[in-house]
Structures are given as C-alpha cells and as structure tokens.
Chain A
Amino acid sequence: MDLFHNLAIGFATAAQPANLLYAFFGCLLGTLIGVLPGLGPLATIAMLLPITYALPPDAALIMLAGIYYGAQYGGSTTAIVVNLPGESSSVVTTIDGYQMAKQGRAGVALATAAIGSFFAGCVATLAIAALAGPLTATALLFGPKEFFALMILGLILASVLSSGPFIEGIGMVVLGMLLSLVGTDLNSGSQRFAFGVPQLFDGLDFVPLAMGIFGFAEIVKNLEQDDKLSLVTQKITNLFPTRDDFRRMVPAMLRGTTLGTLLGVLPGGGAVLSSFASYTLEKKLSRHPEQFGKGAIEGVAGPESANNAGAQTSFIPLLTLGVPSNVVMALMVGAMNIHNIHPGPEVMTKNPTLFWGLIASMWIGNLMLLVLNLPLVGLWVKLLTIPYRYLFPAIMVFCSIGVYSINSGTFEVYEAAVFCVFGYVLIKLQLPAAPLLLGLVLGPAIEENFRRAMVLSRGDVTALLTSPLSASLLAAAAIAVLLIMLPTIRARREEALQE
C-alpha cells in the first residue's frame, strides 16, 4: 500500500520532537493572531513569515501550515463570540454562531466548530494523500499549452468567485499580470518596467504587496469604522453538545466535509467558497429552514467543516501542479521560494520527506488545534478586549519588520508603503484585491508557457484548441464566463457573496 507507506514517511518526519514543537507554535501563533478581528490567514502568514526564515525548510513549512489553519480557526472563534468574522471564510459562521452565543450556547457553538474542523481536517488529509500521486502523474503529462490553459481557468474562476462585478475581477487579474511583468524578461534578459531601479530587476515582491494591501491598507480602513464590539459577556461554560445537537450536527459535518474537500481542489476555490456553499446546502436540506439565522447548529457545523476541508485540499493543486488556487496558497509559494523549494510535481519525487511530512503535520496540527482551543477559549476571548488603538501599531510593527527582513533592505518597506496607498484606493473603489495578487503570482508562468507553446506551434494560436486537454480546460473557462453572464446566476452569486 503506497498510501500508507507514504503516510508513514510523513508521520516519521512530522512527529520528530522539533517538528511537533514548530507545528504547535504555528497553531498557537496562528490562532492568537487569527482571533484578532480584521486579520485573516493571509495577513497572519505574511506577518509571521520572518519567524520561519531561520528554520530548515520542512520545519518552516510545517510551521507556516500551522499558522495557516490556526488563523483560519481563530477566525471562527471571533465569528461566534463577537459576530465579527476574523476572515472571509467565517463570514457565514457569524450568522448562526453568534445567535447561538447570544442564547448562551457559545460553548456548544465553539465545540461544534472545533469538532467539525477536526473531522474535516482528518478527511482532507487522507484526500490529499490519496490524490497527490495520481495528480502528480497527470501533471507530468502537461505541456506548456496545458499549463497555460489550466492557469487561465484558475484565474477566470478566481474572478468569478471574488466579490463585486465579474468584469472588474477580470480587470484586476489582468492588472496583476501586468504588474508581474516588472523585472527581467527571462527569454531575452532585457529589463521591463524597471526604469533603471536595480531593486526592481527581480520584479515586484509578493510579500510587500500583500502586506501593503492586506495589512496596512486594512488598518486604515478599520480605523475609519467605529470599533464597537458586541462582545458576548456571559462566561463560556458548557462546551458539550447535547445528544440532540449531535444528531443534527453529524450529518451536516459529513456533507460539509465532502463539499469542502471537492471545492477546495478547484482553482480559485478554497475555504470561502466551501463555507458559503455548505451553508446554502444545509439550509436547503433542513426540515426547519426557518431556524437558520436564529442559531441553527447545522449552520455552524456544515460551513465550519467545509471551510477547513477546503482550506486543506487547496494545497493539492499547489503541491501537485505548482499552481496556487487562491491568494493564501500564492503566499505559500512565496514562502516556499524563500526556502528554495519550488512547488510543482517535482517536490514529491525529489523531496518526499518534506512533502509527506507537510501532509502528516496537517493532521497533527488539526489535533493540536482541538486540544489547544477548547480549553483556552476564555483566553482567546480576552484577547478581543484589547482596544484596537494598541493593536494596530503592533500589526504595523510586525509587518514592517517582516517586510524588511525579506531581503534585509528598506526598499521593500517603501514598496509596502506604496501598496498601502494603492490598497486603500482599491478598498474605496470596492475592487477585489485577491484576483490582482493571483494575477501577479501566475503572470510570469502564464507568459512563459504561452510563449513556449507558441514557439512549439510555430505561432499557430489554434494549437491551444487542438490538444484535447488544453481545449477542455479552456472550454471550462469559457463556460464559467458564459454562466456568470446569465442574469439568474448573476443574481444568485451577488446574494451568496454579499458581505
């Protein structure tokens, strides 16, 4: 059994005492920062990235993954206790989770989220382990045409799934791709859009950009709003769901996990889409849809399982094809590059202990979160009482040091400042930043594969459509565009992505 053999290699790596410790620190730090409202997994990973610089690659990746689902998890806690989603995938959890908290069932809601996430995490880990082999084998069949088509599909889906009008999402993707052209053209070695600035010869860095937009500009936005937190004041005592709760949450968890596992693999998908889809499904299937929005436990169990499963399976396209399916995965690419690992089909064959160790650590991390979070919930809630005026300078300090330490240079700090202003413009214009960042990350690979494909076909553009694989990927992208143009689907999407 290959699967079990591989998992055994993975657990041997992940269970080394040092790696266990890093996984633990990652989960702890991720939860700690993820709990704070307005800081999602992306900003959390970006901020904590420098902490991993000094570590060996496998430890660094294990810790980063821990930070990722720790932050994801922390978001649910805020959603339930203060009605503020810590990040976008816990938006739906606020609907019923906060209602449960108001009814004095915050403990049960938190426990439901924890158990659901853990269960989903276990299933998703197995799914990754089972799918990694076959998908990596598929990736080896991909030529430039197929990779080009796959990435186009991913970008189209990412803009379909972002908030706001579809055309504006596509515009952001293209703008991101244009920004990715800054730097040295690999084919000819000439400089493009660098204007003689040596620091730009390597291109715009992803991390300062992400921190400027998701860290600094978010702070300006948060400061504009009146920060009145509707904290649930009663003590969180009873964590145990009743027998009736169990009866209602288990099926929801199973459905949420299945949905999340499938949707997470989709390019452009991931945690956000999964949780929305699961909520809609649970409401549809329920015999008491009127209870939704008033504290239905299915409305917490389903989406929480789905977003955790989706968050984890979104590693699949990254690890097997080297294509990040969402912005957090794009940041993971940046983090891996810093440690000299280039995600793609080669990672599994060249570096099996790292690959399987990361996967095994996901399961361990999920277990740690379960143990860590339920008893410490009181502590996390206390964190929320820190006023924002003390918090945001701390975020700025960590982001600034983080940005500086990428290259030990101040150029990146100024870059982040510029993107703070740009990010603020985007917020004011309600333009989605996620497609921009994905365009930025995928841009160079798209150009390279497109140029290579055209060299191979001697300039015949129709070659993209004569290969069955690339043709079907492009057809899927075209169908997605056509579907979104249909008025009924457009209305449904606006409803679902309403924040």
Chain B
Amino acid sequence: MKGLAIRNQRAFACGALFLAFAIFFFVTALSYPAGTVARMGPGYFPRLLAIVLAAIGLVVILGAMKSSAEPQALRKWDLKGLAWVTGSVVLFGALLFPLGLIGALFVLIMVSSRASHEFTWIGALTNAAVLIALCLAVFVYGLGLQLPVWPSLFN
C-alpha cells in the first residue's frame, strides 16, 4: 500500500491553494449575517461559494494522491526575477508623489531592468531616457492625464 503519497505535487498545491482560500473566505464570512434562502444576508452567498471551493480543493487534493495520478513535480521558481519586477512596481507607487513621474519612472525602469540577465547600465539608462520622454509626450502633454510630473518639493 503506497496509497497516501503525493504523486502529483502540482495538483496537490493547487488543491491546497483552493482549500486555503475557501477556509479564509468561510471564516471571514461567519461574521456576516447569513439570513435565509428567501432573504439572503451578506454572509449567505460567500459561505455557499466557500463550501463549493473547499469541496473542489478536496477533490483536487485527493486526485493528486490517487495511486493512478500522474507524477508531476512543482516547477522551479525564479524569486529573484519576481522580486525585481514586483518591487519596481511597488517603488513606482511609493515614489510617484514624492519624486514625481520622471523620478518614479526612472526608478521603475532601472529596477525592473535588473530582472533581465542581459542587464547593462548603459542599456537601461538609454531605455529610461527614451521611455520617460515618450511618456511625457504621450500621457502628460498629448492626453493631458493628471500625473504629478515633478517632485512634490517644487509644488
């Protein structure tokens, strides 16, 4: 009997993800009034959906442990690339008001460029210059979008 082995790691992780979300939503929804079928409160539908998702999660998990399941490992993660890309977006949000569009775009482009394994300083700087000029021309002057262009110090 090798019944309870996780043969399909990928599917197992998917099921676990579904189950985790289901539990989170169900537990949170417990604090909202459920009401009855005829007069549903704000908590009724979320609980219903969370139960459905939990059931799906369990089916997926069991499927991953079936002895007939196709063995499948989890894929390798590139956390560095993810961190550079996500980090540059967060920095853009954080710096847009203090530094203005030009500064925030500069940081966004320089930081995100690091995610490429072919990164060069000159390439990234050139790219930043071209893109900032393009964005100013299109979004600020062309379309008149409300964006803080300069650092807040100058306002």
Bound complex: CA A458 to CA B52 (Å):
23
Within 8 A of B (CB), among A434-493: 447, 450-451, 454-455, 457-459, 461
Decide: B108 and A393 in contact? CB cutoff 8 A.
yes
CB of B123 to closest CB in A, whole Å? 7
CB of A152 to closest CB in B, whole Å? 12
Known: A171-B57, A408-B146. A224 touches B78 (CB 8 A): yes
One of A64-72, A172-180, A309-317 at the interface: A172-180
Q: Which residue in B14, B29, B44, B131 is a CB contact (below 8 Å) of A431? A: B14
Q: Which residue in B38, B89, B131, B143 is a CB contact (below 8 Å) of A416? A: B89
| In the complex, chain B residues whose CB is within 8 Å of the CB of A216 | 85-86, 89
Decide: B14 and A447 in contact? CB cutoff 8 A.
no
Decide: A459 and B94 in contact? CB cutoff 8 A.
no
Which of the listed residues B46, B85, B97 has the most CB atoms from chain A within 10 Å of its own CB? Answer: B85
CB of B51 to closest CB in A, whole Å? 10
| In the complex, chain B residues whose CB is within 8 Å of the CB of A167 | 56, 59-60, 63
A420 CB–B CB distance under 8 Å: yes
A27 CB–B CB distance under 8 Å: no
Bound complex: CA A81 to CA B94 (Å):
41
Known: A167-B60, A389-B118. A400 touches B49 (CB 8 A): no
Which of the listed residues A219, A220, A414, A447 has the most CB atoms from chain B within 10 Å of its own CB? Answer: A220
Decide: A393 and B113 in contact? CB cutoff 8 A.
yes
| In the complex, chain B residues whose CB is within 8 Å of the CB of A185 | 32, 42
Decide: A424 and B56 in contact? CB cutoff 8 A.
no
| In the complex, chain B residues whose CB is within 8 Å of the CB of A431 | 14, 17
A323 CB–B CB distance under 8 Å: no
Known: A50-B145, A181-B45, A428-B77. A190 touches B32 (CB 8 A): yes
Within 8 A of A (CB), among B45-70: 45-46, 49-50, 52-53, 56-57, 59-60, 63
Decide: A394 and B131 in contact? CB cutoff 8 A.
yes
Known: A220-B81, A220-B115, A396-B88. A171 touches B42 (CB 8 A): no
Known: A387-B118, A429-B13. A392 touches B18 (CB 8 A): no
Decide: A447 and B86 in contact? CB cutoff 8 A.
no
Interface range, A side:
35 or more
Decide: B109 and A397 in contact? CB cutoff 8 A.
yes
Decide: A420 and B147 in contact? CB cutoff 8 A.
no
Within 8 A of B (CB), among A57-101: none
Bound complex: CA A257 to CA B53 (Å):
38
A54 CB–B CB distance under 8 Å: yes
| In the complex, chain B residues whose CB is within 8 Å of the CB of A425 | 17
Q: From B118, which residue of chain A is reached at the shortest CB distance?
A: A389
Decide: B52 and A396 in contact? CB cutoff 8 A.
no
Decide: A168 and B118 in contact? CB cutoff 8 A.
no
Main SS class of interface, A = helix
Number of interface residues of B (CB under 8 A): 70
Bound complex: CA A408 to CA B147 (Å):
8
B99 CB–A CB distance under 8 Å: no
| In the complex, chain A residues whose CB is within 8 Å of the CB of B14 | 168, 171, 429, 431
Bound complex: CA A254 to CA B128 (Å):
48
B75 CB–A CB distance under 8 Å: yes
Decide: B56 and A388 in contact? CB cutoff 8 A.
no
Scan B71-98; emit 1 where CB is below 8 A from any A CB, else 0: 0001101100110011011101110110
Decide: B85 and A53 in contact? CB cutoff 8 A.
no
CB of B52 to closest CB in A, whole Å? 5
Known: A181-B46, A420-B85, A429-B13. A400 touches B113 (CB 8 A): no
CB of A209 to closest CB in B, whole Å? 13
Decide: A192 and B89 in contact? CB cutoff 8 A.
no
Within 8 A of A (CB), among B105-120: 105, 108-109, 112-113, 115-119
Known: A171-B60, A417-B86, A428-B77. A405 touches B145 (CB 8 A): yes
B40 CB–A CB distance under 8 Å: yes
Bound complex: CA A402 to CA B41 (Å):
36
Bound complex: CA A51 to CA B92 (Å):
20
| In the complex, chain A residues whose CB is within 8 Å of the CB of B45 | 181, 447, 450-451
| In the complex, chain A residues whose CB is within 8 Å of the CB of B38 | 454-455, 457-459
A413 CB–B CB distance under 8 Å: yes
Decide: A223 and B46 in contact? CB cutoff 8 A.
no
B6 CB–A CB distance under 8 Å: no
Q: From B13, which residue of chain A is reached at the shortest CB distance?
A: A429
Decide: A417 and B93 in contact? CB cutoff 8 A.
yes
Decide: B113 and A53 in contact? CB cutoff 8 A.
no
| In the complex, chain A residues whose CB is within 8 Å of the CB of B17 | 425, 429, 431
Decide: A404 and B96 in contact? CB cutoff 8 A.
yes
A188 CB–B CB distance under 8 Å: yes
A7 CB–B CB distance under 8 Å: no
| In the complex, chain B residues whose CB is within 8 Å of the CB of A408 | 146
B28 CB–A CB distance under 8 Å: yes
Provide 14 A-B residue pairs closer than 8 Å at the C-beta atoms, listed in order of the A residue.
A50-B139, A54-B145, A171-B56, A175-B21, A178-B21, A190-B42, A193-B28, A220-B81, A392-B112, A393-B127, A396-B108, A397-B108, A410-B97, A430-B10
Q: Which 7 A-B pairs have the closest CB atoms?
A: A459-B38, A413-B93, A459-B37, A185-B42, A389-B116, A410-B93, A417-B89
Binding site for A on B (CB under 8 A): 10-11, 13-14, 17-18, 21, 25, 28-29, 32-33, 36-42, 44-46, 49-50, 52-53, 56-57, 59-60, 63, 74-75, 77-78, 81-82, 85-86, 88-90, 92-94, 96-97, 105, 108-109, 112-113, 115-119, 123-124, 127-128, 131, 135, 138-139, 143-147
Known contacts A54-B144, A405-B146, A410-B96, then 11 further A-B pairs from the complex at CB < 8 Å, ordered by chain A residue: A171-B56, A174-B53, A192-B42, A216-B85, A223-B117, A224-B78, A390-B127, A414-B93, A425-B17, A429-B74, A458-B38
